């Protein structure tokens, strides 16, 4: 399964994302080892947060989802934006600390110490797996 960036959101900003001008439309692929199964919902992020410019909210509501569990790359950018949006839309939010990373430990820890506890619950992967048990 390929991730298509041909319709990445381009917004008027002072400092652009820094994406190369010759970025291919297909920027990455989801490898089979990821375990994607028939019927899984795949959402391609088009900007900082997973809700921006996507059908994510609509699909989650249609499925009756009330809680989102979030992990990802760039804790203080993409993960934080997605968590803020999810909380603002009324979803219960669980941020998985050891399933996130950032360019610096300082940025990562700042989000988990100052921001995320105000948006939802902060947990470790083992705790989430146990709760889903």
Q: Write down all domains in the chain, each with its CATH number in brackets.
A: 2-132 (3.40.50.850)
**Distance between CA 24 and CA 34 in Å, rounded?**
22
Q: CA 119 → CA 21, 39, 47, 93, distances in Å? A: 36, 30, 20, 7
Beta bridge partners of residue 2, listed in sequence order: 29
Cα dihedral: 96, 58, 18, 81 (round 10): -40
Which stretches of the chain are assigned E, i.e. beta strand? 2-4, 26-29, 67-73, 92-101, 121-123
Q: Would you give the DSSP letter of residue 55?
A: S
- Phi, psi dihedrals of residue 3, rounded to the nearest 5°: -100, 115
Which residue positions in the chain have pLDDT lower than 50?
Answer: none
Q: Which of 70, 78, 86, 71 is nearest to 17 (CA)?
A: 78
């Amino acid at each position: 399964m390929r991730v298509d960036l041909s319709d990445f959101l381009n917004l008027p900003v002072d400092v652009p994302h820094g994406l190369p001008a010759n970025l291919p439309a297909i920027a990455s692929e989801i490898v089979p080892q990821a375990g994607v199964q028939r019927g899984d919902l795949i959402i391609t992020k088009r900007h900082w947060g997973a809700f921006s410019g996507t059908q994510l909210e609509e699909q989650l509501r249609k499925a009756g989802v009330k809680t989102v569990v979030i992990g990802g790359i760039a804790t203080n950018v993409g993960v934080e934006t997605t968590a803020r949006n999810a909380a603002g839309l009324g979803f219960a939010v669980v941020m998985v600390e050891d399933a996130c990373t950032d360019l610096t430990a300082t940025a990562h820890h700042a989000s988990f110490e100052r921001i995320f506890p105000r948006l939802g619950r902060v947990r470790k992967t083992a705790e989430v797996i146990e709760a889903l048990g």
